[in-house]
Amino acid sequence: MLNYLKLFFYSIFYLMIINSIVIAAYPSKPIRLLVGFSAGGSADNSARIISAKISESLKGRIIVENRGGAGGVVAASIVANSAPDGYTLLWSSPGALTISQILEGNLPYKTATAFTPIGLAVTFCSALIVSNDSGITSIKSLIVSARDSPGKLQFATQGIGSTGHLAGELMQMMTGIKLVHIPYKGANEIMTAILGNEMQLGFTSSSVASAMRNRIKILAVTSLNRDLTLPDIPSMHESGLTNYEAIFWYGLLAPANIDEKLVKLLNVNLQEALNSTDVIKTTRLQGLNAKPSSPQYFKGIIESDYQKWFRVIKH
């Protein structure tokens, strides 16, 4: 019996040594970072900017791989089924991690068990815009108009389950007004519809709204406080919807069961990248706010977002 115990402890000790050597050598080959959206958008741009900085500190190559489809679910599925060795990571948003869990019944993964959160990266909000000819001048006048004509006002977003759609549903839940959701393919289509008076309202990113502000009216931003991209525009909270907040994010995750030492190493390098002046400046130009966090904090954000948007979507 004593010999068996010795053999057991020697095996554990040996595995610990081997594991330490593997961690110390990480990364010994390129790391794949899967992004669930096409190239050129904020998800892709933020992933490339921040992973480039992480590559410098890790002294290893990170290859950003765009696997668009189903609002990020395609990329998330690949990572969920990858080896938990730190060489396949996910850059994701609430769409694939929380919203899909509410809207879809047959997903190939469950967020709570398929991934290990590494850290929150950036947060962002939407902006509620109207055409200059709409006659709507504030959130208050919008609510009055919607109550006078229930179900007549339409709002444009980038699709079902998108940030704009969620922001609009939250506004309806909090005010009791009834709007009609009209999904579009992208920000350009939304802006064309607003400018052409095809749509009365629209939700778009703060950076897009800022770039077009001479041609449209921006009523409010969906963050609790004012957004740095539009510092002169009030938040929904300031505009009378007390405690209204619809902020969104991108974060870094790994497959479940990754070694805790790798989680810590990746988190330290992610936070270092997010605290760098050039990353803060570059991401802010895109309407993104660097938000370094611990893995535990990021896990809590994912869980609380699920609960919040479940209530909104199912109301």
Question: How many Cβ atoms sit within 10 Å of the Cβ of residue 289?
Answer: 20
**131-168 residue pLDDT tens:** 999 999 999 999 999 999 999 999 999 999 999 999 99
- Say if residues 112 and 76 touch (Cβ distance below 8 Å): no
For residue 33, is pLDDT > 60? yes
Domain positions in the chain are 31-124+249-313, 125-221
In this structure, whether the domain defined by 125-221 belongs to CATH 2.102.10.10 is answered with: no
For residue 288, is pLDDT > 70? yes
For residue 17, is pLDDT > 70? no
- Percent with pLDDT over 90 in the chain: 88
pTM surpassing 0.85?
yes
Stretch 183-197: mean pLDDT: 93
pLDDT bucket at 90, cuts 50 / 70 / 90: very high
In order, the DSSP letters of the chain are -HHHHHHHHHHHHHHHHHHHHHHHH--SSPEEEEESS-TTSHHHHHHHHHHHHHHHHHTS-EEEEE---GGGHHHHHHHHTS-SSSSEEEEE-HIIIIIHHHH-S--S--HHHHEEEEEEEEEEEEEEEEETTS---SHHHHHHHHHHSTTT-EEEESSTTSHHHHHHHHHHHHH----EEEE-SSHHHHHHHHHTTS-SEEEEEHHHHHHTTTTEEEEEESSSS--TTSTTSPBTTTTT-TT---EEEEEEEEETT--HHHHHHHHHHHHHHHTSHHHHHHHHTTT-EE----HHHHHHHHHHHHHHHHHHHT-
Nearest to 127, CA basis, from 246, 284, 262, 26: 246
Q: Do domains 31-124+249-313 and 125-221 have the same CATH topology?
A: yes
What was the pLDDT predicted at 46? 97
Which CATH superfamily hosts domain 31-124+249-313?
Bordetella uptake gene, domain 1 (3.40.190.150)
Stretch 221-228: mean pLDDT: 97
Question: How many Cβ atoms sit within 10 Å of the Cβ of residue 141?
Answer: 14
CA distance 305 to 50: 23
For residue 15, is pLDDT > 90? no
- Say if residues 268 and 262 touch (Cβ distance below 8 Å): no
Range from 21-35, 81-95, 125-139 carrying the lowest mean pLDDT: 21-35
Stretch 43-57: mean pLDDT: 97
One-letter amino acid of 164: G
* Burial class of residue 281, CB neighbours in 10 A (0-12, 13-18, 19+): exposed
